[in-house]
Structure 1
Amino acid sequence: MGIKYAMLFSITITILLSLLILIPSLQNGSKFHTINHSDHHLLTQQKPYPVSFAYLISASKGDVDRLVRILTAVYHPANYYLLHLDREARPEEHHHLYQSISSHPTFARFGNVWIVQKSNLVTYRGPTMLTTTLHAISMLLRTCQWDWFINLSASDYPLITQDDLIVAFSNLPRDLNFVQHTSRLGWKIKKRAKPIMLDPALSETNKTEIIWLTQNRTVPTAFKLFTGSAWTVLSRSFAEYFIVGWDNLPRTLLLYYANFVSSPEGYFQTLICNSREYRNTTVNHDLHYIMWDTPPKQHPLNLGIKDYRKMVLSGRVFARKFKKNDPVLDKIDKELLRRKGLQFTFGGWCYEDEKKMCTNSPSKGAIGVLKPGAGSRRLRSLLTKIASGKNFRQRQCK
């Protein structure tokens, strides 16, 4: 009876949670701090850039400085940015983040950076990271027009400029989804698929360890399980499908993954590969450079100076994980992003001819102008390899 009660409780909480994910997309934008300005409304109406991206950047307690650093590294007026700081962070940290964003004149001018006001508790290996992502996507769908959604953490860092990214993606079909995936679960069947866990953060105000039930469950037969990277680039069409679409598969899988260990590494993979409409839109890649132990452990290895050349030659858009203020980040800033400190990454919208760098005043550049560099060529080469020809179709949902 105890197990049945626990499972019933978990399902009830998940149903309520799925409703909460959808509600913000139907209400006004009162769930995040925002600084609006008419310049951004004008920018949206004119659409001077070929594509745009919506970012969710998540951070844990103690990570505000890293969050601000990666934000300035990936910032561009063409894009949209939603910042989530774990509710576990101290009030002073939340205030520090708000002050850092609200006092920045460029963010105020374009009004395309928001902070989740009522942030969530995010439990390690629990489903709360997934629900936070779904919540963010629902808000971004309602608030602004974009082509792809990207989720990052404060431990990530870009390897190319946003001008590079925009130009490289400008000729791609808008329905492509970059979701690294495989149906070969291996050890994850025993360690992830069969165990049943409950995440107290779904119903409690304080973070505690996840609860393990003594009884295991069988591998599902109504759908095929897939696993992969938690870091994705999702199309707007696919996002609308699982947030506001009529198909019940997204909600069915959300209920299932509420009790799944490390659900962000399986939900989107299983969803897209079991969807007839979207399974052929998958590019089996997460566009991240990540180093793992052999065999892989729970966490990737920290990257450093020794990994710099491999990161650059990989053609990837992002890399992870980095320690706070690791010297390799300064090298990336100087040689790949062409910026110093918290200056913006080099781009046509803010560059200064004399310095060949971006100023933090966009008046020096020109809105709509793109200045791609070597990073765009490296990424285009990678995209040609993974998103076209036999390599594209043969690696879909296998």
Structure 2
Amino acid sequence: DDDFITNLCPTERVPRLPLPTMRRQAGRSLNALILWASLLALAVLAHMGEGKEYKIQKFLKDRDAWLESKFALPDDIKSADAEIESWALTESVSTVRNAQTLECKRQFIAANSRAVSGDMPSQFPASCPKDGGSKKRGDGTAHLVFVSSSKDIKRAERIVEAVGKNKLKPWKPAESFVLVVDSNSGDSDKDGKLMEKARKAAGRLSNTRVATMEEVEGQGAQAFVAYDRVKIPPKPVGRPVRLAYTLFVSPNDPLWRLYRVIHSIYSEQDFFFVHVDAQQTYASESDRVANEDKAKKALQGVMDIMAPMIANGNMRVEPVYDVSWGGTSMLNAELAMAEALLEMGEWDYWINLSSTDYPLKPIDDLRNFLSDSKNWGYNYGWGAYQDPDDEEKNQGLKSTFVECEGHSFRVNDKFPIPRGVKLQGGSSWFLLSRQFVQFIDDCLAMGFENRTKAGECSTVLMMLDYGQYKINFEEVFYQTVQANTGHCEVIVNEDLRFINWSKDRDDVHVGCMHWEEVDWCGNSPQVMTEDKWDEGREKPDRFFSRKYEHPVVFDHMDSVLGLNTTDGMPQELRDVMNRNSVRIENPRGKNIAFHKVAYASSNQVNDDGKAFFSANVLDGNLNTRWSSDHVDHGQWITVKLSDNKEPLCNVTEVRIFWETAYAAVYDLQISEDLDKWEVVHSTTRENRKRPQTKKELTHVIPINGGNGAMLAAFKLDLKHRATRWGFSIWEIEAYGRCEQQVPGAVFGDSPKY
């Protein structure tokens, strides 16, 4: 009831218990703790959920209302499907046709209409020199240069370049410029070309943007001024540096790992916001019920193990968004959590983590690093200049994406290239000062309707609006805002992390990951071993690393750091953790195709010489793969288990571990003599739908209903690709029995068929 909630969640902070005391109490009375934690969890959830609307949520709600008023959107699925079909990209690059809900389809249509009509944000204000702020800042003025012809633009370029070289007194190099385009000739084509020339000129010049005469008259010249440098705040007196953490948790994350991660960083003087992915609302009714139950159990499990820390008043656990890889939901959730952390108490730096992160050094080492005068007050996060005109590296800048139904759909390739700002992108892991976080939050308070007339905050608001149509924008937003506002002089291009992006796996920077969550190719770092963690620990100015999954590695890290993150862990979590430490034998028996012979119609070889041979599918390594040429017909791969001098094998099951570039249509054929072939299975688009998860990329094919067949070889006759790439397979396995195991060659001449 209300009294119960009030007593558990008073406005004053609950008196804190020392963590060792909490652990001892938990060990003495686990049942009492679980009951208390469950009640506390329900109370805290009720307390948190009442009437809270984060600024980012209002920003997006106002944006959606604006879209509704601006574009005519269909009210039924049939009409929506017809409109989408008229402009949708091919199925090889976009999955927009797979969306289920009307709301999702309306978002596609609104995004496409906005991109085609030219209403997408494309010209951004900026108030920091393009050299990253190495020059002194201006005095808060901007020069408005009016242009009405191509000659005017050329003159303006010469003026801006002269000022930049300090050759035009008394103008100072760091002052900003606005090319004000007076395009009222009455000829829309001519005016459009003039505006495009002005934008290209501004893109080449330092600290220059473009505005129309109407914008200057409507917003006032003050909206275009430059801004003074940000002053570094004084260091805290009488206390150590305080940290604020955000931690992303999905319902699939093991609770034992979360328990160990949070206990490796927890301190009563710091603040924590643990984000548990919200319930999926877009699934079918049966899936929705299953997802709802899963989400509730996941949230309750996190609340149970965090209950003592929540009681201390320095931790919140809350579902805000259903976060998917690559989608803007991650950035939006971060902004909501940052707002909450600002309200929770006094801290100095914000660190974002995942549930696979772990410290490399004691947290006090990080506090000492930040309190050093040469490090204090700066923002840390790695980023590199993103050239919008570089087709190979612009990360989908010309594509429009919409995130809904847990997926980022590629809607079109008509998005305008951003101009006027220096785009920075790189790491999504950062350490940001409270001063910068407060600046972002204050800008968000100005709202969507003021996005083009908010002075320096227009950079924040317009970039946030722009980012809602992009992928992985949490890797771009903070760096770009810093580089193009008064905060540009307090950036350190280093995220203080150690992450293993080595190319031991052949799919890194070559293959395609996360396809089930985004119509694009993504990458993920390697899972760390004890040796890799030791390597990262030796590097100076590295304080966190990721990612870690195996309990044995956690034990090693704890022993070096002097931690015991299993202390007080509930026994049920211990049991799960211990089971993860045991290698389970394959219940299907021995893979009789291991290290046999594989032949293929073609083997892809990249320009850099990297090859994807057929032998990779039989090496027992799910990190190496075979790939064919990028053509549809005439492609096949054969696995030879025996020849005329060896006994045949009775194969009962074949398993194919497809890479993203799977075959939509193919036949599985078997042969006793590598001459006559019999089709025993056919996969078509009708009997096997497009996979929605990585697990569905593994095709399990029983032979003769599992009874098996005697054969010397089997072949995949690949007929139609599902993607624009070739056919690609990580591994092929065969189960059954051969009278005698005879190792085959890894390479060999292809037999004559």
| TM-score by shorter chain over 0.5 | yes
Provide the residue aligned with 2:431 in structure 1: 233
SS of the counterpart of 2:325?
A: coil
Q: Is the 8 A contact 1:198 1:258 kept in 2?
A: yes
How far did residue 243 of structure 1 move? 1.1
Letter in 2 for 1:93: A
What is the alpha-carbon distance in structure 2 between the residues aligned to residue 97 and residue 188 of structure 1? 42
Q: Give the one of 179, 183, 200 matched to 2:385.
A: 183
Residue in 1 that maps onto 2:557:
332
State the Cα distance separating 1:81 from its structure 2 match. 0.6
**Paired position in structure 2 for 1:366:** none
Equivalent residue for 2:536?
Answer: 311
The 8 Å contact of residues 380 and 430 in structure 2, kept in 1 or not, is answered as yes
Partner in structure 1 of residue 199 of structure 2: none
Other-structure match for 2:285: none
In 2 relative to 1, CA 198–107 (structure 1 residues): closer, same or farther, beyond 3 Å?
closer
- Report how far residue 174 of structure 1 moved: 4.1
Matched, 1:143 2:353: no
1:170 to 360, 371, 375: 371
Matched residues in 2 for 1:341 and 1:48: separation? 33
Deviation by residue 1:124-149 (Cα, 9 ceiling, x = unmatched): 10100000000000111122111010
Counterpart of 1:233, as a letter, is: L
Amino acid paired to 1:322: Y
1:309 Cα deviation (Å)?
A: 2.5
**Residues 216 and 327 (structure 1), Cα distance of their counterparts in 2 relative to 1, 3 Å cut:** farther
Partner residue in 2 for 1:208: 406
What SS does structure 2 have at the residue aligned with 1:199?
Answer: strand
1:98 aligns to 2:283 (yes or no): no
Partner of 1:153: 354
* 2:482 paired with 1:272: yes
Equivalent of residue 84 in structure 1, options 272, 275, 279:
275
Give percent identity, aligned residues only. Answer: 23
Distance 1:286 1:249 in 2: 23
> Post-superposition shift, 1:339?
2.5
Q: Deviations over 1:258-299 (max 9, x none)?
A: 111111111111111111x10110111111100113464611
1:72–1:343: 8 Å Cα contact kept in structure 2? no
Q: How far did 1:199 drift?
A: 0.5
* Matched position secondary structure for 1:83: strand
Q: Is 1:282 aligned to 2:491, yes or no?
A: yes
Distance 1:86 1:9 in 2: 30
CA offset at residue 189 of structure 1?
3.9
Equivalent residue, structure 2, for 1:217:
415
Residues 164-221 of structure 1 deviation map (CA, whole Å, 9 limit, x = unaligned):
2222222245420001011045666454322210011xxxxxx432221133324211
Pick the aligned partner of 1:195 from 388, 399, 414.
399
Is 46-55 or 281-290 further displaced after alignment? 46-55
Alignment of 1:233-382 (within 5 A): 233-245=431-443, 247-275=457-485, 277-294=486-503, 296=509, 298-315=523-540, 316-323=542-549, 325-342=550-567
Preserved contact between residue 359 and residue 544 of structure 2 (Cα < 8 Å): yes
Find the counterpart in structure 1 of residue 256 from structure 2: 65
**What residue in structure 1 maps to residue 174 of structure 2?**
none
Seen in structure 2, the aligned counterparts of structure 1 residues 266 and 221 have a Cα distance that, compared at 3 Å, is same
Alignment TM-score, normalising by the size of structure 1: 0.69
Q: 1:10 to 1:233 in 2, by over 3 A?
A: farther
**Counterparts of 1:228 and 1:155 in 2: how far apart (Å)?**
19
CA–CA separation in structure 2 for the residues paired with 1:188 and 1:271: 23
RMSD of the TM alignment (CA)?
Answer: 2.7
Structure 1 stretches of 5 or more lacking a match? 16-45, 201-206, 345-398
Q: Distance in 2 between matches of 1:101 and 1:309?
A: 29
- After the TM superposition, which parts of structure 1 deviate over 3 Å for at least 4 consecutive aligned residues? 1-5, 8-11, 184-191, 293-297
The match for 1:356 is none
1:73/1:337 contact within 8 Å kept: no
Describe the shift of the 1:181–1:188 C-alpha distance in structure 2 as closer, same or farther (beyond 3 A): farther
3-state SS of paired residue (2:556): helix
Q: C-alpha separation between the residues in 1 aligned to 2:317 and 2:386?
A: 38
Quick one: distance in 2 between partners of 1:174 and 1:308? 27
TM-score (norm 2): 0.38
Match of 1:395 in 2: none
Equivalent AA in structure 1 for residue 276 of structure 2: L
Partner Cα distance (1:91, 1:318) in 2: 30
State the distance in 2 between where 1:288 and 1:136 align.
21
Find 1:124's aligned residue among 325, 329, 332: 325
- Compare 91-100 and 226-235 and name the one that shifted more: 91-100
Answer yes or no: is the 8 Å Cα contact 1:334–1:340 preserved in 2.
no
Deviations 1:333-365 (A, max 9, x none): 111243351479xxxxxxxxxxxxxxxxxxxxx
The residue type equivalent to 1:61 in the other structure is: P
Q: Measured at CA, do residues 298 and 122 of structure 1 come closer, stay the same or move farther in structure 2, by a change above 3 Å?
A: same
- What is the SS of the residue equivalent to 2:538? helix
Q: Is the Cα–Cα contact under 8 Å of residues 112 and 411 in structure 2 kept in the other structure? A: no
